[in-house]
Every structure is written in C-alpha cells, then in structure tokens.
Amino acid sequence: MSKTDLKKDVIIVGTGIAGSLIAKLLTDHVFDTKKGKMIHRADVQKPEDIQELSVLMFEAGLEAGLELDSVSSLTTYNEYMRTFFTQEAKVPNSPYPNLKQAPSPNVLDMEPIIPPFPDKKGYLVQFGPMPFASDAIRVGGGTTLHWLGTTPRMLPNDFRLTEKYGIEINQPDSKGKAPINWPIDYETLKPYYEMAEFEIGVSGNVSKQEYPISESMEEYYGDYVFPMEEIPQSYMDQKIIDGLTGTSVQLNFENIPLMMVPSPQGRNSIPNPKYGKTKIIKAETRKSGYKLVLDSSGKEEYKALGSVWNPYMGERCEGNASCVPICPVQAKYNALKTLKKALYKMNENENLVRNPHLEIKAQSVVYRLSVDQEDKDRISKVHVRRYISKEKTDFVEEVFDTSGSIVILAANAFENPKILLNSKYTVTENGQKVEKTVANRSDQVGRNLMDHMVMLTWGLFPEAVYPYRGPGSTTNISSFRDGKFRSEFSAWISPLDNWGWSWPAFSPGSDLSEFLGKGLFGAELKEALASRLSRQVLFHFEIEQLPDPNNRVTINDQYTDALGIPRPVIHYELTDYEKRAMEQAKLASDQMFAKLDIQDFTKYNATDNNTFVYNNVRYSYNGAGHIVGTHKMGSSPDDSVTNSYCKSWDHPNLYIVGAGNMTTLGTSNPTLTLSAFTIRSVESILADLEIQLKN
C-alpha cells in the first residue's frame, strides 16, 4: 500500500461536468494573503500577496481521455470516432472504452429480471423487480461526452410538488409519508442557471419559449437572452408544428393546448450579439460570505468555444445527427472544455500556460473514505485503487491524506453513493460500538434513485419529412410539463426526435432486412427504403419519476468488480403514478398522430426488457440517462444527505455534488440544473477555503 502525504487544498473525485465546473471555478480564484479573502484572478493587484489553490482530481477512466493538449486530445477523440463507426449497436456508450477496471452500466447489458434472482450480466446488479434502464460512462469528461445536449431549466413548481399538488412520498421502511419540496426555489437558482448557460454555451431563443406555468416568460427569464442564437428547427419539426399549431389534446377531462417550443441546447450556433461580451463567473465578498456573479466586464465579444484540440473546429453545429453518442467536431458541449479551462490559465503576458497547481490522476478509482473522529468527523483519507493499464487488472493501493483538505465527491449518481456506502467507521455511543456510514445519518444515501421513463411512439408521416438530419432533437412539446394533473400522474416533456425509428426499431438496418426478406432488390429496394425512411417520425415522452426511498443503490460484498470494489446493486420499481402517466401520454400520442394523419407503427412486446401491463394494456419504457436523486439535498440532516450547497451535514470538509443531489426530477434534462446548483456550491466551498487557508 502506498501512503501519499502530499497536501492539497481541494480533492475532487470525478472529471464530469460537476467536478470540472468546481475545478474551473476554484482555480479561477486565488487567496489574497493580505486581505485574507478569496479573489478572482482578474482582481489580483499584487501577485506577491497571492497564494494559489492546490487541487487534485481523480478520474476512474483512462489517462488517454484526459491528455488535453491538442495532439493527444485529437488522437483520443479520433479513436472514439473509429470505435463508434465500427459498432453495430450505436448505443450511448458505444464509442468509449469498456473498462474492466472501471466498468460502466450499458443498456446492452440489461435484461428482464426474474425475482428473486438478479440480473447481473453487466456492471449493475439489478434486483428490480423492474429494470433500471439507463447507462452512464466512466471516462474523462463523464457522461457529457454522450449526452444529447438539451438544456431546459426546471419549472418553478418542480421545486414545490408538495406545496402545489399535495404530493408526499413514502418514508424509508415505513408507512409514513414525507413532503418533497426542495430546500431552494427557482428564484434562488435563476442567476446560477445563467452562469451554467454561459459556461455550457447555450443556443436558444428566449422569446419563443412557452411553458404551462402561471409565471410570465418575463418573470421566468427576466431581461435575458441565451449566449447563442437558436438552432434551426428541422424540416420534420416544421411539418409537425404546421399540423398541430392551434390544436389541443384531451386528458383527464381537460383540454391541453399544444405548445411546440424550440429547445435550448448546449451546442454551438451563432453568438447572439445581444448577449454582449464574454463574461466571467467571479466571487464577490458579502457579509454572509461569498456570492458568485456573472461579471460582464470582459474585453472580447462572446465566441462559441470549439473543440478541445482546436478552437476553430466545432464552432458551429454541422448537423451530423450523432449527438448521442458522439459529436464528431465537438460543437456539442462536453465537460472536457471546462476542465481544460481549469488546466490552462492566462499568464501576465496573456498567454495560456499549464496550471501547475492542478493535478489530475487518471486510472484512479476512489472506493472509500476514512473519518477522523478526533477532529469533528472530518474526512481524513481517500482510498484509491490505481490500475496500471487498460489490459491488466493489477492495481496499486494508494491512500491520500485529506485531513487538511476539502473533499468533493463529483461522480455520477451510482458512483457517489457507492463510495459513501463502502465507507464505514465505528464510533462508541453509550459505551457501545456502533457502525456508521459516511454522510448517512439520514439513511438517505443511495435512496430515491430516479430517471425519466422514456415512452416512444412511432409511425409514418403521410409525406416525406426527412429525419436523420441535424441535431438529435430541436423541438419539444412543453404542454405537459406542469398542470393540476400532477396531483394524479406524472408530468412529462415530449422532444421530437430526428432519428427516425432507430431507437425503437433499429432503423434503418431493420428496414433493409425486412425489405430484403421480402425479395426486394435494386430499384424496388431503393424506392421502398426511400419511401419509408423519409417518412419515419418518432415521438418521445420523458415522464417524471417521483423520489421513492425503496428505489435505491446499495452494495453487497458478493458482487464486486475486477478491482474487488463493490458494484452498484439496484432495487427499482415504478408506481401507479408513473404508470398512469404512460397511459395518458399514449392517449396524447394517439390524438396527435390522428391530427397529423400519421400511420401508427408503435408496438410494445412482452419480450421487451422494460415492459409492464397497466389497466390491461402493455407499455414499454426506456431510460433517458437522467440518473438522479441518490444523495439528495434538503433542509434538515434528518431527511437529506447534504444542505442546499451540497455540503454534507455529517462531515465539515465533505461536499457531494452532481445529479444525485436533486430532490425531484421535474421534466427537464438534469445537466443544466445540476450545473447551476454545483456552481452555487462553490460559494460555500470558497468560504470554507478562506477559513482553511487562514489557519
């Protein structure tokens, strides 16, 4: 075992968007030893009075994914692209290394569960009784490498489901009920949404956003524009909009007008001249501590940020249509762009130089934390298994002293709880030895696992609409994102997908196979393919799931990976609240298909991996990759893992950030929201650093 005593101010586990945002924002600030305050680099007046922050990051993925110099970045990304081209199943994880030492959940590994036996084919050990259907990737930059890039904000009522709709959830292992309001509201998060949209580089048109909320768009957005102009809506979307504008559907004895909204997106288009100069996110000192602001004193006009290896490549979306799983030119945002800003800083000559105070250790799997009970239960050690190569499972055991550091878990919503649940320590209470779990006073670590249930419907438009072009989705139907029906069944958002039937029916390969089986060849085959593929439409219903303490990630020493680390054990089921929403969403789809004269080819089969029968009708669902809720924030240590700044209630130097902090899921893709509250958490981290660096 190697013991490492190298002192760091901050240790971050994970290089996805949460970890990269924190690394970037912290390294943008320095400690002014004369003022005893953290200040932004732009405000440094006397360099001799400045103390740099020392930051260490751990990444479970390969070293190759984190070499962010231009040559190595291009080489690695080209390898991802070559792998993607050769894969038969173009699933989200298909371009990226499938590591024995740091395995990832893969949708191709998921199978039906036959209780009491688990599905343990892949990385996840699934006891169900229903399969959890989403994946994630353990690689430099995290799951933002294969995300779609859609960036709607949450709606005000998403933060107050109990207050608005009387919804309460089960308490762990009891028949009691508990409220589920967030410890923060939309107004609190709004300025941090703007910071996240700046950092990601969001394209969109505020004036075209329309949601079923009581607030006006002026109240919701304020005097604001997105950094970049709207990505044009696809031709297919325009044809659907033409057919549905001014119409409504009837659900639950209520007419719901159809709103078709151009989706805000984290991909490059034309910078919006109204947005103004490039901005910086900087901390200002307040009586209460630090407050991050989006400072507009930049010298240059806002520019789209291109690829990691070449800022002039990927400055505009090229419509490659492979956003999931990979953008060939990196016009779509990924967290490596933010991480590179942490790794390279401007010197006094305004040249980019490598930041020597930030170190990233790749191929390093953090699996346990230790606690110093003599020092206010501070996290005292981080335990790491560092594997040597992609081919071998040999590893070196390393232990890092964190007694003088702030420790930040910034892995995904499977890995953060897995690390915490594997971190046991013993205390003496009333003369008895009691085993505890790090950060788990509330017994909420690993609980409340959520995802958007994706119900797909597909059919043939009466004329050619030419899918398979442009970004994966450019329009969403926002009508069902909020409403009084939420007291009875889930809300949902409906993106219009530009992928034809590729997701539910594996088109175009399946179409080719079908027509060849019918004996078509030559001109007949070409004509049949052209007729079908050009008319394929796919509707997509992302259905909110409520937090349920019995939907959870646990660990069990019977199930370990190649490094001997426990794998995530999943217990998961849908309730009638979500199932009824699928029933209602299918009714909405039927009405929209009828209005558009779409021939419905939707079929759910008993052989589907993720399927159930509700009110004598079969439905099947997919995962959205929106894995949230396993270390939720809250207002009390009795029922949550962290406070609203993502700081552990139990340990003064531990932060736990990422999608796992989300109290509820709402109807928006979670990346923008987790980015917003992660940015907000930096205010608390800076305050803790001030105290730490003064001592």
Query: Each residue of 652-672: pLDDT tens digit?
Result: 999 999 999 999 999 999 999
Structure tokens at 349: 């000559």
CB distance 602 to 636 below 8 Å: no
Three-state DSSP class for 619? strand
Task: Render pLDDT for 520-570 as a digit per residue (tens, 0 to 9).
Answer: 999 999 999 999 999 999 999 999 999 999 999 999 999 999 999 999 999
- Rg over CA atoms, the chain: 25
Residue 170 has a pLDDT of 85
Structure tokens at 4: 């490492």
Band of pLDDT at residue 229, cut at 50, 70 and 90: very high
Q: How many other CB atoms sit within 10 Å of the CB of residue 207? A: 10
CB distance 503 to 538 below 8 Å: yes
Residue 310: pLDDT above 70?
A: yes
Q: For tokens 């009075």, what's the residue? A: 49
Residue 429 has a pLDDT of 86
Band of pLDDT at residue 298, cut at 50, 70 and 90: confident
Three-state DSSP class for 339? helix
Residue 296 has a pLDDT of 86
Residue 5: pLDDT above 70?
A: no
Task: Render pLDDT for 233-245 as a digit per residue (tens, 0 to 9).
Answer: 999 999 999 999 9
Spell out the residues 6+ positions from residue 545 whose beta carbon is closer than 8 angstroms to its own.
450, 451, 452, 453, 490, 574, 578, 665
Beta strands in 438-580 (DSSP E): 453-460, 473-477, 492-497, 536-543, 552-554, 569-572
CB distance 120 to 551 below 8 Å: no
Residue 412: pLDDT above 90?
A: yes
Q: Which amino acid is located at 544 in the chain?
A: E
Alpha-carbon gap, residue 452 to 546, rounded angstroms: 10
Select from 461, 448, 610 the least CA-distant residue to 538. 461
For residue 653, give Cα distances in angstroms to 267, 399, 402, 635: 35, 17, 9, 19
Residue 3 has a pLDDT of 63
Task: Render pLDDT for 365-383 as a digit per residue (tens, 0 to 9).
Answer: 999 999 999 999 999 999 9
Residue 1: pLDDT above 60?
A: no
Most confident of 4-8, 177-181, 512-516: 512-516
Spell out the residues 6+ positions from residue 114 whose beta carbon is closer than 8 angstroms to its own.
none
Alpha-carbon gap, residue 547 to 121, rounded angstroms: 26
Residue 518 has a pLDDT of 96
CB distance 123 to 561 below 8 Å: yes
Select from 354, 260, 481 the least CA-distant residue to 27. 354
Q: How many other CB atoms sit within 10 Å of the CB of residue 151? A: 27
Query: Looking at 126-135, 425-434, 480-489, which range is the least confident one?
Result: 425-434
Structure tokens at 676: 């917003």
Band of pLDDT at residue 17, cut at 50, 70 and 90: very high
CB distance 308 to 323 below 8 Å: no
Residue 690: pLDDT above 60?
A: yes
Strands 492-497 and 536-543 turn out to be antiparallel
Residue 4 has a pLDDT of 59
CB distance 360 to 59 below 8 Å: yes
Residue 136: pLDDT above 80?
A: yes
Alpha-carbon gap, residue 298 to 655, rounded angstroms: 31
Residue 174: pLDDT above 80?
A: no
- DSSP annotation string for 243-286: HHTT-EEEETTEEEE--EEEPPBSB--PBPGGG-B--EEEEEEE
Residue 2 has a pLDDT of 62
Angle between helix 670-694 and 186-200 (nearest 10): 90
SS3 for 73-112 is HHHHHHHHHHHHHHCCCCCCCCCCCCCCCCCCCCHHHCCC
Task: Render pLDDT for 562-576 as a digit per residue (tens, 0 to 9).
Answer: 999 999 999 999 999
Residue 625 has a pLDDT of 96
Alpha-carbon gap, residue 508 to 267, rounded angstroms: 26
Spell out the residues 6+ positions from residue 116 whose beta carbon is closer than 8 angstroms to its own.
127
Residue 416 has a pLDDT of 98
Alpha-carbon gap, residue 376 to 418, rounded angstroms: 23
Strands 473-477 and 492-497 turn out to be antiparallel
Alpha-carbon gap, residue 138 to 166, rounded angstroms: 38
Q: For tokens 């003599």, what's the residue? A: 374
Band of pLDDT at residue 349, cut at 50, 70 and 90: confident
Residue 11 has a pLDDT of 98
Strands 453-460 and 406-409 turn out to be unpaired
